Amino acid sequence: MLPITPVHETPAQIETHVEKKQRIETTVAMPKAKQIRYEHCQHGDVRVDNYQWMREKGPDLEAHLDDWNTYTKQQLEPMKPFTDKVYEEFMGRIEHDSKSVPYKNGEYYYYIRMEKGREHEIYCRTHGLDGPEEILLDVNEEAEKYDYLNVAKSCPSPDGKYIIYGYDTDGSQFGTLYIQEVGKEGFHEVSFPDSDFDVEWNARSDGFWYVTHDENKASKYVYHHKMGETQKDDVLYFTEEEESFNVGILQDKLQRYILINSYCKNSSETRYGDLNHPHPEFKVIKPRSEDYLYHIIPGDGEHFVLVTANKKNAKLMRVSGEDFDPEKWVEFLATDDQIEIEQVAHHRHHLAITTRERGLPKLRFYDKTDDEWHYIDLPQEIGSVGIIGIQDYDSQSIRYVFSSPVTPDSTYEFDTSEHSMVLLKQKKAGDFDPSQFTARRIFARADDGTEIPMSIFHKKGIELDGTNSFFLYGYGSYGYSIDPNFSIITPSFVERDVICAIAHIRGGGYFGRPWYEEGKLLKKKNTFTDFINCAEHVIKDGYTSPENLVIRGASAGGLLMGAVLNARPDLFKAALVQVPFVDVLTTMLDTKLPLTKEEWPEWGNPEEEEFYYYMKSYSPVDGIEAQRFPALYVEGGLNDAQVQIHEPAKWVAKLLDYKTDDNPILFEINKKAGHHGASGRYEAYAENAPRYAFLLDQLGFKE
């Protein structure tokens, strides 16, 4: 009997029996991980974990991850034409040939160039602004030697003879320092492994200070290297002994002091050494204490100190003299619960700061000549602003970058003596037309009555009839404020009439330190309920509906995704979950893992019973139940030192055990990179294209 052919199919569309058999044989089933029962026991509580074996990387885990990559690639194949279109949209907004604004260091102006078709940056300089270009390092050529390369540091010596580069070759955000003598091939034989890329040159360019980490990737050791000697001759000046603390270094603009800052999430301690002495002795400025952080901003006989204490927003102190004596600190600029100081740049004639005032970014400066504060107007109310440090202490200029959803990154320079401003550079964004879009704030009401802000970005004239597609992003940890800025990805959504939004939930820093404190430790669940309340608000107010609402979170934002998906999966159509911190309780109990103890001030110490049960109540892996989940695209990095790959792998495996729906779940593992994905720019956008195409596809867009 001949097969009955549907009338709408053409002969070219008909699969033969042979073709169908071949397709079925090459179809890869969704990977199911093996189960090995393991019991976690703490405080008399037993948690069964069938996937604890994944913590130990080995052939079984690698094979399982390979299966997921094969399966995910296969599932994405029908979307490839759409993914290619999304990628081409990204490419239409990228600056293929670009040059950064030069900055002056000594007699040279340094900058970075990008060339069309090439993945990586090219480090260059000129002698004077109009001098001929000198190529210092072409990272494209260096990248051919590695599977992964990110040049995380470039630090020229004051005399311009040497440059130190920091090479991260696995995506771990740590690596090796190399010294280049400009004009000579290759690097010096002496290299410096175990680096976190924190480095400062001596004023005489005859040596430098640097920081290295221990076996747990904690920054612990401050060394000084003298040029011409081997690394084994380097002098160890300081070791941070406290397990939860890291260490960093800073040299003042006048190169008189080297500061060693020991810090954790809620405490800090700074030592200073006088660089006029060949072997400086370091003195503690103010001993560390709980809930007290301070940051020294040195000057010429007059210094400033940014102090965050008692869970309140930072205030600015001023001190005169050469010893930074805390007994002489005098309050210079007070704040309140709605004003937070974020950046401070100190120069001879002025002090520039960025603040967050009622959640909105501001830029102002104190003019020492007239003893007055002055605001600098920003292009839009909704956006982000950051000061770019100018090395010259005597400079009367403030250089800063402003960005917003409708304004590509724009670098300005403001003259504090003339009160004049010039736009130095604005990134191009192809044919994106900002005049057709608007950015604004709306507020959702949390369960406890708190108003939760959202920054939203959409095409002008959209009707609030409940049918709009909506893309909601959240983070909400560590006091970080995720400000709305320009992205070449977002237009692929708003140009399709998707509304894009950031939920400024508690645990982040949108309203400063108190906002952060209300979303950490035993108040962490505010972060998750805030996000749920934001989703409920945009549905109730007619922006969208659950079948048109997709969400995204990464790292601690991946924890957010896991928690809200467990609590209210019915609110969402799909989720993009990247490098997610989802096995919270198990990780925070495992002190052998990097970062665990230094994370306790953020999440709590589950060795204490109260924290244990509170963390268990929201930990995504522990909270999975039998229910329907939305479509999921999960992404992890094999070399991720911050969220190790077993966390998303365990989460995905357990989700498959419990989910009662047939919605797609994809799991992609970058085997060459870590927490931040690919290092090459085209490669990074090629990685992102299928992820965002997946979300658009779930919203019903096919082209």
Torsions phi, psi of 5, nearest 5? -95, 125
Residues 498, 490: contact at Cβ < 8 Å? no
Tokens at residue 485, please? 């800025």
pLDDT at 359 over 90: yes
User: What pLDDT score was predicted for residue 601?
Assistant: 94
- DSSP tally for the chain: helices H, then strands E: 13, 38
Label residues 164-177 b or e (16+ Cβ within 10 Å = b): bbbbbbbbbbbbbb
What's the pLDDT band for 323 if we cut at 50, 70, 90?
confident
| Mean pLDDT along residues 135-161 | 95
170 is catalytic: no
* Sheet hosting strand 339-346, strand order edge to edge: 339-346, 350-357, 360-367, 372-375
Q: What percent of the chain has pLDDT over 90?
A: 86
Helix axes of 556-567 and 525-540: crossing angle, nearest 10 degrees: 60
Query: Is there a contact between 320 and 302 (Cβ–Cβ < 8 Å)?
Result: yes
- The dihedral sign for the CA sequence 523, 574, 624, 478: negative
Instruction: With a cut of 70, say whether residue 92 has pLDDT above it.
Output: yes
Confidence category of residue 24, pLDDT binned at 50, 70, 90: very low
Q: What's CA 256's distance to the chain center, in Å?
A: 32
* Residue in 646, 651, 613, 477 with CA at minimum distance from that of residue 56: 646
State the average pLDDT over residues 495-509: 98
What are the structure tokens assigned to 41, written together?
């026991």
Average pLDDT for the chain: 93
Residue 7 has a pLDDT of 29
Top pLDDT among 16 and 206 is at 206
> End-to-end CA distance of the chain, in Å?
40
pLDDT at 517: 97
- Band (pLDDT 50/70/90 cuts) for residue 216 is confident
pLDDT given for residue 19 in this prediction: 43
Options 640, 646, 679, 697, the catalytic residue: 640
Q: What is the mean pLDDT of residues 17-32?
A: 59
Q: Region 98-124: what's the mean pLDDT?
A: 96
Position 671 scores a pLDDT of 85
Task: Provide the pLDDT for residue 26.
Answer: 53
pLDDT score, position 504: 99
Q: What is the DSSP letter of 518?
A: T
Q: Which residue has the higher pLDDT, 671 or 35?
A: 35
C-alpha 268/C-alpha 275 separation (Å) is 22
pLDDT tens per residue, range 247-288: 999 999 999 999 999 999 999 999 999 998 888 999 999 999
To the nearest whole percent, how much of the chain has pLDDT over 70?
96
Identify the weakest region by mean pLDDT among 28-37, 446-455, 466-475, 594-603.
594-603
Name the H helices within 518-572. Answer: 525-540, 556-567
Report the pLDDT value the prediction gives residue 464, as an integer from 0 to 100. Answer: 85
pLDDT-based confidence at residue 23 (cuts at 50, 70, 90):
very low
Quick one: how far is CA 363 from the chain centroid?
22
Question: Quick check: 449 pLDDT over 60?
Answer: yes
Joined together, the tokens standing for residue 692 give 């965002």
Structure confidence at residue 172 as a pLDDT band (50, 70, 90) = confident
Among the listed residues 262, 555, 619, 679, the single catalytic one is: 555
Q: How far is CA 320 from the centre of its chain?
A: 36
For the stretch 391-402, pLDDT in tens is 789 999 999 999
User: Domains (ranges, CATH) in the chain?
Assistant: 55-95+568-583+620-703 (3.40.50.1820), 96-239 (2.130.10.120), 437-544 (3.40.50.1820)
pLDDT in tens, 411-420: 999 999 999 9
pLDDT tier at 14 (50, 70, 90 boundaries)? very low
**Could you confirm whether 504 is annotated as catalytic?**
no
Least confident of 107-121, 230-244, 504-518, 635-649: 635-649
Asked whether the predicted pLDDT for residue 3 surpasses 70, the reply is no
User: What does the pLDDT look like over 613-639, one tens digit per residue?
Assistant: 999 999 999 999 999 999 999 999 998
Q: Residue 641 — very low, low, confident or very high, per pLDDT cuts 50/70/90? A: confident
Candidate list 347, 458, 675, 676, residue with the active-site label: 675
640 is catalytic: yes
